[in-house]
Chains A and B, each alone.
Chain A
Amino acid sequence: GNSVTQMEGPVTLSEEAFLTINCTYTATGYPSLFWYVQYPGEGLQLLLKATKADDKGSNKGFEATYRKETTSFHLEKGSVQVSDSAVYFCALKGGAAGNKLTFGGGTRVLVKP
């Protein structure tokens, strides 16, 4: 079946540092890949997505590239702000799962001023 593995947090950074959150997946076929962000006490927000190999999703300074050869979709941001402190979830849709998302366990990011 489908699965998503994310690096465990928390990830603690200083403001303006470079952020990378690793995400690898297992799925049959060609899944769509997503990153969601969850701020404290809120629901998840769709941050970006990519639907085919070598696609790059981007939004709010975050980027992730769909790498089929390494089955990865790592999230990056060049210069984080305190407001980027949140939990980030990698997810995929595809294969036998139909219209359901498979989520990773989430990675908590804490940005200190």
Chain B
Amino acid sequence: SQTIHQWPATLVQPVGSPLSLECTVEGTSNPNLYWYRQAAGRGLQLLFYSVGIGQISSEVPQNLSASRPQDRQFILSSKKLLLSDSGFYLCAWARGQGADYEQYFGPGTRLTVT
């Protein structure tokens, strides 16, 4: 079976510090991978998605970047965090095409920028 991991689960960082969040998927190969952000009490915002190693599409220009150094690893980074980067960051992977398509989410990382 497939499993998706995210770490850390919780992070408190000062403004201006760097960020690295990691997501890994087990039990599948060549998944589509996604990073979302969820602000407190709000919906989901798609930040990045990737269809393969080194292939990153950015949905919203901002203070963040993403990389996919391995097939099942997806990293979200920032060089200098802003207060507005606080939120719940969710990684997801997808399988299937057309009617078989399904997207599955990790447990999330709660980031607080102080």
Contacts and interface: CB of A to CB of B under 8 A. Distances in A.
A99 B101 contact: yes
Interface residues of A, number: 21
A43 B43 contact: no
B3 to A, nearest CB: 12
A34 B102 CA distance: 9
Interface size for chain B: under 10, 10 to 19, 20 to 34, or 35 or more residues? 20 to 34
Contacts of B110: 41
A45 B102 contact: no
B51 interface: yes
A106 B101 contact: no
A48 to B, nearest CB: 11
Nearest to A43: B105
A46 interface: yes
Interface string A27-55: 00000101010000111111001011000
B101 A93 contact: yes
B99 interface: yes
A45 B44 contact: no
B56 to A, nearest CB: 14
Contacts of B34: 100
Nearest to B106: A43
B90 A44 contact: yes
A66 B44 CA distance: 22
A101 B44 CA distance: 10
Interface string A5-36: 00000000000000000000000000010101
A80 B44 CA distance: 25
A41 B88 CA distance: 9
A73 interface: no
Nearest to B90: A43
Nearest to B101: A93
A89 B44 contact: yes
Given A32-B99, A104-B43, A105-B42, A99 B105 contact: no
